[in-house]
């Protein structure tokens, strides 16, 4: 149970010359510090082309995972010259609810858009010019005159027959009216009832005969008009087709290799001819005013001929790399926008918008897994896209299966993309266990560690990281002593003298804050004092609660003794975490015993304030009692252990050795020196095991002792296996060097109880007993007495 020396309390980086490389001198991955395993997995996952080998990058925030992915993707993209295709959506004239997707080589999508826009404008102008030409007017006049001559001939013939039958034909708004003629004069309808019955009968008979002939003639007239309209329409279509063909042929020649685009272009021409009135803005005759108001303008109608270029890679170099910041369904997979019109929301092909997945098609997409899982429908839609190798744009409510709305259903686009999810290891474990699809789609895991080995090469690389940060963010350069302090802080973050933390976000923030203090002091470099000030200020800003706890201890509100001795009472150490800040504080642990049935009762557990690991720790120390003292007698005790003045949940086993010391004290009747605080877990064989938060625990107890007055004999008992984790503050180290504070490492409960009581623990004799004056001897004696009491108590009366 040696007392630790100051050189064991912290690893110190010697001030050395750091030859900083600029960002231009660093290779794309050289700045990704201390992650060889993760980079190997990342390289494999990005380069293998097989389906399903998408990547999950696991690691805590700030470990360089996003930087590593970004840098490696840029390096990989620079090697690939093949640029993925452009994608367009156009109106499907056979089914306007299902827009057609067209694929073009990179850059040709924009060309196609321009060509079609010019084609539509040229087509409208050329058609109007053709229709206004004298040649077209003459042809139309010739056709019209031919049919009008036939119509006039038939009409004259009808009038002659009517006259022969004693009638005259008069034109009205509803058609031709047969008016009887008597003595060469037409008679009005009101005169007919005044005629003699036989005259009326003759008129009716002649009318009936004439109507039959007139109906036949009217049918011929309607046929003439129908034939005229049809011939005029055919002539018009022929003229329009003749006008459009040269314009279409020019585009077809340029896109001859794209059969789907050429076929759509011909469909476009057919639709123009079919909807010629709307295209050129010719208003049909006879429409009511309310319908005239709803007719689209030629410009609005021409939207059906617009090409919607949703993916434009004309300026893309290499493969696209898309880093997603918002994984909402609409952002990821695109959206069909709508606009209000005449009291309703309407849409068309030009309102289809691409998502991140479209932009990344043919390349790589990086998605934060947390945002992906929190966005409704996004994760399931991503899986479907990867499984089916296609991108489907649909309404989110339809994707969720809640509601089916009548809207556009664009043709799916073929998908070839490598997906990189970035998230914490817990998300990966949950998805891997609960979702079989995830295992098939994300077969590569790149695991980023929170620490790296500390050696000379690693320290130099860390120096490169610091220099790259200062160059990138235009910070002041660091002196060698300042970089050394940053390296030491990194080891403290890692809680290990032989490790460096890869939580670069925290390290970077310290450097940024130190840069602020250096500039404020008008220095040209960031010096050691500025780094230390940044660390001290960072602690001070978050330490209000820790100061309040120490204040309550000093006032006696929270009972903690740092001198004297007491039986069954000991100072335990725990760590409180408050988001970005954690600190250590002492807690009084007490134990009481009485004869009983071999139970060690954790009062926290009885009050349902104890976590499962805390409960396990109590069971383990019970196992130690049985192993050490229960081989020749039943343990007939009832012990109770508690954290005094603890009103919240307690978990963890780092106080199990402390609780055992309190039990041994109360069983032996030997007091524990209250100048000590203790931490460490224990196994059933009495070995003291490593715990977490050792630096915060020691510094927390030191702060309490300093507040209440250092006596020169106060200190901490800690597991020997935690010595390598010590990265204590200078203040604590200086107190140890001055003999004002002491830190002892122990390997076993025997070593610890001897230091705490000043009494030997005692070695077991051949006969199984312990020396009477030893701690274990006194415990063994007390347990025998309790066993006898219980035996007498349970003996039948009489």
Cα of first residue to Cα of last residue in the chain, in angstroms, is 54
Q: How far apart are CA 679 and CA 684, in angstroms?
A: 17
Q: 798 vs 404, 788, 795, CA distance in Å? A: 87, 18, 9
**Ramachandran area for residue 381 (φ above 0: left; ψ -120 to 50: alpha; else beta):** alpha
Q: Does 633 participate in catalysis according to the annotation?
A: no
| Choice among 654, 657, 665, 745 that is catalytic | 654
Q: Are 161 and 213 in contact (CB under 8 A)?
A: yes
* 175-182, strands of its sheet edge to edge: 167-172, 175-182, 185-186
Q: How far apart are CA 220 and CA 232, in angstroms?
A: 18
Q: How far apart are CA 187 and CA 174, in angstroms?
A: 20
Burial class for 343, CB neighbours closer than 10 Å (0-12, 13-18, 19+): exposed
Q: What is the 3-state secondary structure (H, E, C) of 397-429?
A: HHHCCCCCCCCCCCCCEECCCEEEEEECHHHHH
E-assigned strand segments in 498-568:
499-501, 565-566
Q: How far apart are CA 196 and CA 181, in angstroms?
A: 15
Q: DSSP per residue over 757-777, as a string?
A: HSS------TTS---TTSHHH
Q: How far apart are CA 240 and CA 127, in angstroms?
A: 6
Q: How far apart are CA 503 and CA 507, in angstroms?
A: 7
Provide the b/e sequence for 694-715 (b: ≥16 CB within 10 Å): bbbbbbbbbbbbbebeeeeebb
Helix axes 730-737, 694-708, angle to 10 degrees: 60
Q: How far apart are CA 33 and CA 466, in angstroms?
A: 11
Radius of gyration in angstroms for the set of CA atoms belonging to the chain, rounded to a whole number = 47
Q: Are 759 and 670 in contact (CB under 8 A)?
A: yes
Count of alpha carbons within 13 angstroms of residue 564, beta-carbon side: 8
Q: Are 587 and 574 in contact (CB under 8 A)?
A: yes
Q: Are 637 and 783 in contact (CB under 8 A)?
A: yes
Q: Does 161 participate in catalysis according to the annotation?
A: no
Q: How far apart are CA 241 and CA 234, in angstroms?
A: 10
Q: How far apart are CA 420 and CA 319, in angstroms?
A: 15
The three-state secondary structure class of 42 is: helix
E-assigned strand segments in 12-77:
55-58
* Neighbouring residues of 242: CB distance < 8 A, sequence distance ≥ 6: 130
Q: 278 vs 124, 147, 201, 424, 686, CA distance in Å? A: 11, 27, 54, 58, 93
Q: 300 vs 278, 284, 308, 369, 409, CA distance in Å? A: 10, 17, 15, 42, 21
Q: How far apart are CA 676 and CA 667, in angstroms?
A: 19
| Choice among 115, 418, 499, 697 that is catalytic | 697
* Catalytic residue IDs: 654, 697
């Amino acid at each position: 149970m040696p007392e630790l020396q100051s050189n064991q309390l912290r690893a110190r980086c010697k001030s050395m010359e750091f030859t900083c490389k600029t960002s231009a001198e660093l290779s794309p991955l050289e700045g990704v510090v201390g992650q060889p395993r993760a980079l190997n997995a990342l390289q494999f996952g990005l380069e293998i082309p097989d389906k399903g080998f998408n990547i999950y990058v696991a690691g805590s925030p700030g470990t360089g995972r996003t930087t590593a992915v970004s840098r490696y993707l840029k390096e990989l993209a620079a090697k690939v010259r093949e640029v993925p295709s452009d994608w367009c959506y156009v109106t499907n004239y056979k089914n306007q609810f299902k827009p057609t997707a067209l694929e073009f080589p990179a850059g040709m999508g924009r060309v196609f858009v321009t060509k079609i826009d010019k084609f539509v404008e040229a087509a409208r102008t050329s058609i109007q010019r053709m229709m206004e030409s004298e040649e077209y007017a003459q042809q139309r006049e010739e056709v019209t005159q031919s049919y009008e001559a036939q119509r006039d001939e038939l009409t004259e013939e009808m009038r002659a027959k009517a006259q022969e039958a004693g009638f005259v034909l008069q034109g009205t708004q509803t058609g031709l009216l047969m008016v009887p003629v008597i003595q060469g004069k037409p008679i009005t309808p009101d005169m007919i009832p005044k005629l003699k019955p036989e005259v009326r009968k003759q008129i009716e008979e002649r009318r009936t005969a004439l109507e039959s002939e007139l109906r036949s003639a009217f049918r011929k007239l309607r046929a003439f008009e129908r034939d005229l309209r049809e011939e005029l329409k055919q002539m018009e279509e022929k003229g329009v087709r003749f006008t459009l063909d040269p314009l279409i042929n020019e585009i077809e020649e340029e896109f001859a290799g794209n059969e789907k685009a050429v076929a759509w272009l011909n469909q476009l021409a057919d639709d123009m001819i079919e909807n010629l009135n709307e295209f050129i803005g010719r208003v049909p005759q006879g429409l009511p005013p309310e319908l005239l108001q709803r007719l689209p303008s030629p410009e609005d109608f021409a939207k059906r001929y617009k090409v919607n270029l949703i993916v434009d890679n004309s300026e893309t170099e290499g493969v696209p790399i898309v880093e997603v910041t918002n994984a909402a369904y609409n952002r990821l997979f695109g959206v069909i926008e709508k606009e209000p019109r005449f009291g309703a929301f309407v849409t068309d092909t030009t309102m289809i918008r691409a998502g991140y997945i479209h932009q990344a098609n043919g390349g790589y997409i990086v998605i934060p897994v947390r945002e992906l899982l929190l966005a409704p429908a996004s994760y399931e839609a991503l899986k479907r896209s990867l499984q089916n190798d296609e991108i489907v744009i649909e309404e989110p409510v339809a994707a969720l299966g809640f509601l089916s709305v009548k809207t556009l259903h664009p043709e799916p686009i073929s998908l070839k993309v490598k997906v990189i999810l970035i998230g914490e290891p817990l998300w990966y474990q949950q998805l891997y266990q609960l979702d079989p699809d995830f295992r098939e789609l994300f077969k590569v895991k790149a695991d980023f560690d929170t620490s790296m080995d500390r050696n000379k090469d690693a320290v130099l690389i860390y120096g490169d990281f610091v220099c790259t940060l200062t160059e990138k963010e235009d910070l002041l350069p660091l002196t060698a002593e300042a970089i050394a302090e940053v390296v030491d802080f990194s080891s403290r973050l890692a809680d290990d003298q032989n490790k460096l933390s890869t939580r670069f976000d925290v390290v970077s923030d310290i450097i940024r804050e130190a840069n602020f203090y250096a500039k404020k002091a008008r220095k040209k470099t960031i010096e050691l004092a500025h780094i230390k000030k940044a660390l001290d200020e960072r602690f001070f800003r978050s330490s209000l609660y820790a100061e309040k706890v120490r204040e309550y201890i000093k006032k006696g509100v929270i009972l903690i003794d740092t001198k004297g001795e007491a039986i069954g009472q000991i100072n335990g150490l725990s760590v409180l975490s408050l988001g970005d800040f954690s600190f250590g504080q002492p807690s009084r642990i007490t134990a009481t015993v009485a004869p009983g049935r071999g139970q060690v009762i954790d009062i926290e557990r009885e009050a349902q304030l104890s976590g499962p690991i805390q409960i396990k720790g109590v069971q383990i120390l019970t196992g130690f009692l049985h192993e050490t003292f229960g081989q020749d007698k039943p343990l007939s005790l009832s012990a109770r252990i508690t954290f005094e003045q603890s009103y919240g949940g307690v978990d963890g086993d780092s106080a199990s050795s402390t609780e055992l010391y309190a039990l041994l004290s109360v069983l032996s009747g030997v007091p524990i020196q209250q100048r000590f605080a203790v931490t460490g877990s224990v196994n059933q064989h009495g070995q003291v095991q490593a715990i977490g938060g050792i630096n915060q625990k020691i510094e927390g107890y030191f702060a309490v002792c300093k507040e209440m007055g250092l006596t020169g004999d106060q200190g901490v008992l800690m597991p020997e296996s935690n010595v390598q984790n010590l990265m204590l503050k200078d203040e604590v180290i200086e107190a140890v060097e001055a003999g004002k504070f002491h830190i002892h490492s122990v390997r076993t409960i025997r070593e610890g109880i001897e230091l705490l009581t000043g009494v030997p623990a005692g070695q077991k004799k051949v006969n199984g007993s312990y020396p009477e004056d030893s701690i274990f001897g006194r415990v063994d004696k007390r347990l025998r007495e309790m066993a006898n009491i219980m035996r007498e108590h349970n003996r039948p009366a009489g």
